C-alpha cells in the first residue's frame, strides 16, 4: 500500500478508499471500451439516452452511475455485466466488474 493511500485511509477510512478505487476502475473500463469502439462521449450518451455531461462525469470519476445507467452502458459497450466481487487488481476484492 502506498504511503499516500495509507495516510488517506487513516483519515477517511479504508472503505472510502476502496469505494474511490472502485469508482476509478469502472470509469477507466468505460472510457477504454468507448475509445476502442471509436465512439465519442456524445455517441455513448445518445445510445443510452443520457446527457453527454453524464458520461463525462462518470469517466472523470466525479460521479458513479446508478444501476440502471451502469447496465445501459454495459449493454451499449457490449461489456458483460458481472457482479462477482473480484477484479484483476484484487482477486478477493469488494467490488463488481463490468
Q: What is the DSSP letter of 62?
A: S
Domains of the chain, start order: 3-77 (1.10.260.40)
- The string of pLDDT tens digits covering residues 22-49 is 888 889 999 999 999 999 999 999 999 9
pTM beyond cutoff 0.75? no
Residue 91: predicted pLDDT: 47
How sure is the predictor about 4, in pLDDT bands with cuts at 50, 70 and 90?
A: confident
Q: Report yes or no: 77 and 69 within 8 Å, Cβ to Cβ.
A: no
User: What pLDDT does residue 11 have?
Assistant: 83
pLDDT for the residue 1: 59
Residue 49 has a pLDDT of 97
Amino acid at each position: 500500500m502506498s504511503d499516500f493511500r495509507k495516510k488517506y485511509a487513516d483519515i477517511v477510512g479504508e472503505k472510502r478508499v476502496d469505494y474511490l478505487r472502485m469508482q476509478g476502475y469502472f470509469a477507466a473500463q468505460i472510457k477504454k471500451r468507448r475509445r476502442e469502439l471509436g465512439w465519442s462521449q456524445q455517441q455513448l450518451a445518445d445510445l443510452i439516452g443520457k446527457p453527454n455531461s453524464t458520461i463525462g462525469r462518470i469517466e472523470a470519476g466525479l460521479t458513479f452511475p446508478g444501476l440502471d445507467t451502469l447496465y445501459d452502458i454495459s449493454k451499449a459497450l457490449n461489456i458483460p455485466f458481472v457482479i462477482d466481487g473480484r477484479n484483476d487488481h484484487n482477486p478477493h476484492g469488494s467490488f463488481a466488474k463490468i
